[in-house]
Structure 1
Amino acid sequence: MINGTIEALIAITLVGSFVVMASPDRYAAKLATAWSLLPVVGSLYMWANFDGEKNALLADGKLAYQSQEMWLSLGPLPDIQWYVGVDGISLPLIVLTTVLTTLALVSAWTPIDERQAQFFGLVLFLEAGLIGVFTALDFFAWFVFWEAVLVPMYFLIGIWGGPRRKYAAIKMFVYTNVASLVMFIGFAALVFGLGVDSFGLPAVTEASLAADPAAETFFGVNVETLKAAAFFAMFAGFAVKVPVVPVHTWLPDAHVEAPTPVSVLLAGVLLKMGTYALLRFNFTMMPDIANVNAPIIAAFAVVSIIYGAMLALAQSDLKRIVAYSSVSSMGYVILGLVAYTLYGVGGATFQMISHGLISGLMFMAVGVIYNTTHTRMVTDMSGMADKMPYTVGILIAGAFGYMGLPLMSGFAAEFYVFLGSFQASWGSGLVNAQLFTALGMFGIVIVAGYLLFAMQRTLFGDFRLETDYEVGPAPLHDVAPLAALLIMIIALGVAPDIFFEMIKDATGPVADLVNGGGA
């Protein structure tokens, strides 16, 4: 059974990648941007006509745009299928991917002035891989897309990045590849230990949820022990991609060396691969293991929130400040997931979308300032508001969105996460969900501290710049993507049900796997 909608979306993006790579440099930027509008239209069409129900991996879930065909039959080994489809979790991430890619391409018009055809073509190739990650429901196909995303990202950083670009690209590649190997071993052990005859994620989920914990698997290991080992192997693998402290050190280096449009996609979409995978694999397939170890997982989340924010407070490079902010923000996603309540899991998913937009805006605004001043150091400039009023105004609005200003998407996302995690019923005594929630909420205070400090130093006061470059308003094609992102952030803050209704429909059944989903 082939629906064709998702296949067409991936194919159009891939074809566009090759067409742009083959085009002359002088046409590449405009051609890639125009071509990227086709996936945007496709994803918005999917959103407008979405008819899925509940969760794609659970028995009563109804997929939208589903395609399922046998790919490879390997005899006694599990079958490999071409299996794609979307639910209320994956579809908002696809819309985020397509929209943010187009805006990132526009933001690349100014800074990318060499080998443009290859750069813009690789961005479209990256987009195709990301769409595959969020739609694939067979592990083999999903893993192909998961690894394929690393290839263009490595070259985008390694060729067009800053002075230490090769070091940053290799570090990212090594970290994420080792993590993928650990994750792959964990998932393979789970599939073969449970005796599942397919790599389809719904089939593996059903077998895992129905398995008798005391039953023996291979080598006399019982199911509960096997699932625990697989859970922590996959958690470790995905934690690198999120990233979670202490396996976060590759991210600031990658962000600092990457060109701005690549940083936008890295923070806005690639980090969501890790949290999306955690939700699909760990928290949906093995809720019993997640719930038993909830205090440990919540501790990782809170440490990421606080430690990431404290590291951001100590930075003087604007890009590093935003990079460490992403480490902190992803901690909120983990805190919401482990709550296993409707608003916890739903809020974590909504936070993925909100953070994608806000971090994209922040990196893009820092990039526009860098294009003009050729510096990102807080100590090198002040009074930028008088010279670049539109860029600075949008940057300030985005920073307040990061702080959780009401009527912006950051407030809605954090409110849902805190409400859901406060309702969680795990833990006892001092080690309980409410304590971890309170500690996580303290992270907002630190976020406000470092963002306000950085803005006060660079944006206000008398104009001063430690370079010889002329500073003036940014061109329209640099400001327009910032304005578009700000409009979307406000729209999701004012009307979060644009996505949150479908998100709740898909995450509610996950929350119900533990204690009925809480309140």
Structure 2
Amino acid sequence: MMIEALLAVTLLSAFVVFLAPDKVAGKLAFALSLLPLGGSLWMYSAFDGSGNALLGGTLAFEEMYQWVNLGPYALNWHVGLDGISMPLLVLTTVLTPLAILAAWTPVQSRQSQFYGLMLFMEMSLLGVFAALDFFVWFIFWEMVLVPMYFLIGVWGGPRRKYAAIKFFVYTNVASLVMFIGFIALVFGLGDSVTSLDLPAITEALNNGELSGLAGIDANTLKIVAFFAMFAGFGVKVPIVPFHTWLPDAHVEAPTPVSIMLAGVMLKMGTYALLRFNFTMLPETAKQFAFIIALVAVVSVIYGAMLALAQSDLKRIVAYSSVSSMGYVILGLVAYNMYGVGGATFQMIAHGLISGLMFMAVGVIYNTTHTRMVSDMSGLADRMPITVAVFIAGAFGYMGLPLMAGFAAEFFIFVGAFQSTVLAGNTLALFTGAAMFGIVIVAGYLLFAMQRTLFGPFRLETDYEVGRASFHDVAPLVVLILLVILLGVQPDIFYGMIQESVRDMALITGGGA
């Protein structure tokens, strides 16, 4: 009952904060957010799962109860954790209290509603990573959209309504496309499945139980469903060309919302791709590996080039996320333990590093009231701790050794170079092109830092620009320490990740 308890505590905390007075809402939300953090860390310490959740693995904290029948299909409350979902659960509970702490300075209105929505979003994200019945999973998946829409639309910047509506329309349409693709697969399985249980559906697909649907043969149905789900989840990642909602959402969203959006919510898309596309339909993924690898490389390079052209620090970091998520897709399509394991580890590493970068930009904005690179110079003398963490986070983005980003990208590159999914050295050539993205990342981050952090101070203001407050700096320090810790000791998560992706590699013949 640990997962249910974690969800219940988080949801109850959200309602308590909703009802609290504004003057105590921030501190109360932070205190209550430590409860799911403590619960997830205990669950991590007690984790005893093995194998993959959808491929017959032994799950940790698994619970399954019959719920209702929807026509011929039983809907069950089925939750559980494997080595893929457990790290993402921990990531969510780590980032939420840090994001709440980062909100104390910029969020000054309707605080109880803001912090209540943050905790409600945390509960929904936890449900996405724990659910193993499609109907339950889809409820949590859609629930995430609601608090994010209001958090951007109410507390965002001048164009917040446009950004919130664009975000909601993109992601809602994507959910519909994904839903149609998945349900078509379920209907195509006919009587071989009697529930929407994800492990049962995966087993039926892997056993060749899929037949035609509405005159479409089984192979064509797999292809149509695969690309419907790939497009639907790709919007959430986001991959090029479905990325245009992301910069608008990030720029208009308040800092704590950007932290959760980049740190956790984007991982919903890559997590779903791993679970649905690459685990349920491995042969279809291998069949179109060339196209998927091309999309990955284009996302890496194009996202990095777009970041290079930006003058707003927040837009720079936003486009960096598009580039970083391209590496996840590249690791997934490699279809071996290092590739898929590295892709999963990159979700965690990028969650921490992107959260750190958005938080650092937010602290700078809180003090200077600008994010424009051309407006700032010499901040290192005025904000030494913030600037030091910002530089360290930027080097983490560039893949500096002994930081989490380096470990993740190293695993992905090793897996991609060893992969036999594509004939000859094709995937190795794609990987070499993707590695060039690191050079572009270094270029725009070094340029932005040189312009804003060093040289003579020239920001024209009517107020003193000095050191940030303790509650702004503390979460920055925590995050950079976690990035270094995972870089030095990647086996904190990588061991359990490898255990869960091994079955995927064996099914496709990917091996190590």
Give aligned pairs, total: 510
Kindly provide the amino acid, as one letter, of the partner of residue 24 in structure 1: P
1:218 alignment partner in structure 2: 213
CA distance in 2, matches of 1:513, 1:382: 54
User: Percent of aligned pairs with the same residue?
Assistant: 70
CA distance in 1, matches of 2:49, 2:424: 41
The offset of 1:469, in angstroms, is: 2.9
Map Cα deviations across residues 178-226 of structure 1 (whole Å, 9 max, x no partner). Answer: 00000000000000101221100001100111116xx742233222111
SS of alignment partner, residue 512 of structure 1: helix
1:470 alignment partner in structure 2: 464
User: Which consecutive unaligned segments of at least 5 residues does structure 2 have?
Assistant: none
Map Cα deviations across residues 257-284 of structure 1 (whole Å, 9 max, x no partner). Answer: 0000000000000000000000000000
SS of alignment partner, residue 65 of structure 1: strand
Q: Is the 8 A contact 2:341 2:497 kept in 1?
A: yes
Q: 1:11 aligns with which of 8, 26, 29?
A: 8
Map Cα deviations across residues 285-317 of structure 1 (whole Å, 9 max, x no partner). Answer: 000000010000000000000000000000000
1:442 alignment partner in structure 2: 436
CA distance in 1, matches of 2:137, 2:70: 18
CA distance in 2, matches of 1:169, 1:438: 37
CA distance in 1, matches of 2:424, 2:400: 33
1:356 aligns with 2:366: no
CA distance in 1, matches of 2:28, 2:411: 40
1:27 aligns with 2:27: no
1:375 alignment partner in structure 2: 370
CA distance in 1, matches of 2:507, 2:292: 17
What do you get for the CA RMSD once the two structures are aligned?
A: 0.9
Q: Is the 8 A contact 2:73 2:195 kept in 1?
A: yes
The offset of 1:468, in angstroms, is: 2.7
1:135 alignment partner in structure 2: 130
Q: Is the 8 A contact 2:406 2:487 kept in 1?
A: yes
2:306 alignment partner in structure 1: 311
1:200 aligns with 2:197: yes
The offset of 1:518, in angstroms, is: 3.3
CA distance in 2, matches of 1:285, 1:326: 26
1:114-153 superposed matches below 5 A: 114-153=109-148
1:273 alignment partner in structure 2: 268
CA distance in 1, matches of 2:233, 2:70: 28
CA distance in 2, matches of 1:37, 1:311: 37
CA distance in 2, matches of 1:107, 1:494: 26
Kindly provide the amino acid, as one letter, of the partner of residue 9 in structure 1: L
1:183 alignment partner in structure 2: 178
CA distance in 1, matches of 2:285, 2:183: 19
Q: Is the 8 A contact 1:194 1:211 kept in 2?
A: no
1:518 aligns with 2:491: no
1:481 alignment partner in structure 2: 475
Q: Hey, which bits of structure 1, 4+ residues long, moved more than 3 A?
A: none
2:412 alignment partner in structure 1: 417
Map Cα deviations across residues 335-376 of structure 1 (whole Å, 9 max, x no partner). Answer: 000000110000000000000000000000000000000000
Give the TM-score, by structure 1 length: 0.97
Q: Is the 8 A contact 1:341 1:518 kept in 2?
A: yes
Q: Is the 8 A contact 1:316 1:377 kept in 2?
A: yes
1:54 alignment partner in structure 2: 51
Give the TM-score, by structure 2 length: 0.99
Map Cα deviations across residues 382-427 of structure 1 (whole Å, 9 max, x no partner). Answer: 0000000000000000000000000000000000000001111122
1:241 aligns with 2:241: no
The offset of 1:513, in angstroms, is: 1.8
Kindly provide the amino acid, as one letter, of the partner of residue 81 in structure 1: N
Further displaced range: 193-202 or 49-58:
193-202
SS of alignment partner, residue 277 of structure 2: helix
Kindly provide the amino acid, as one letter, of the partner of residue 107 in structure 2: I
The offset of 1:467, in angstroms, is: 3.2
Q: Is the 8 A contact 2:98 2:475 kept in 1?
A: yes
Q: Is the 8 A contact 1:403 1:448 kept in 2?
A: yes
CA distance in 1, matches of 2:346, 2:322: 13
Q: Is the 8 A contact 1:423 1:518 kept in 2?
A: no
CA distance in 1, matches of 2:300, 2:463: 37
The offset of 1:429, in angstroms, is: 5.3
Q: Is the 8 A contact 2:335 2:421 kept in 1?
A: no
Map Cα deviations across residues 228-248 of structure 1 (whole Å, 9 max, x no partner). Answer: 111000000000000000010
Map Cα deviations across residues 82-130 of structure 1 (whole Å, 9 max, x no partner). Answer: 0000000000000000010000000000000010000000000000000
CA distance in 2, matches of 1:216, 1:480: 56
Q: Is the 8 A contact 2:399 2:406 kept in 1?
A: yes
Kindly provide the amino acid, as one letter, of the partner of residue 384 in structure 1: L
1:492 aligns with 2:486: yes
Kindly provide the amino acid, as one letter, of the partner of residue 299 in structure 1: L
Q: Is the 8 A contact 2:75 2:133 kept in 1?
A: yes
SS of alignment partner, residue 83 of structure 1: strand
2:297 alignment partner in structure 1: 302
Task: Specify whether residues 171 and 239 from structure 1 end up closer, same or farther in structure 2 by C-alpha distance, changes over 3 A only.
Answer: same
The offset of 1:510, in angstroms, is: 1.1
CA distance in 2, matches of 1:398, 1:429: 37
The offset of 1:428, in angstroms, is: 2.9
Kindly provide the amino acid, as one letter, of the partner of residue 459 in structure 1: L
SS of alignment partner, residue 180 of structure 2: helix
Q: Is the 8 A contact 2:65 2:78 kept in 1?
A: yes
2:284 alignment partner in structure 1: 289
1:84 aligns with 2:71: no
Kindly provide the amino acid, as one letter, of the partner of residue 5 in structure 1: M
2:325 alignment partner in structure 1: 330
User: Which consecutive unaligned segments of at least 5 residues does structure 1 have?
Assistant: none
1:74 alignment partner in structure 2: 70
SS of alignment partner, residue 132 of structure 1: helix
Q: Is the 8 A contact 2:238 2:266 kept in 1?
A: yes
Kindly provide the amino acid, as one letter, of the partner of residue 479 in structure 2: L
CA distance in 2, matches of 1:484, 1:73: 46
Kindly provide the amino acid, as one letter, of the partner of residue 92 in structure 2: T
Kindly provide the amino acid, as one letter, of the partner of residue 290 in structure 1: A
Q: Is the 8 A contact 1:194 1:223 kept in 2?
A: no
2:248 alignment partner in structure 1: 253
CA distance in 2, matches of 1:229, 1:43: 38
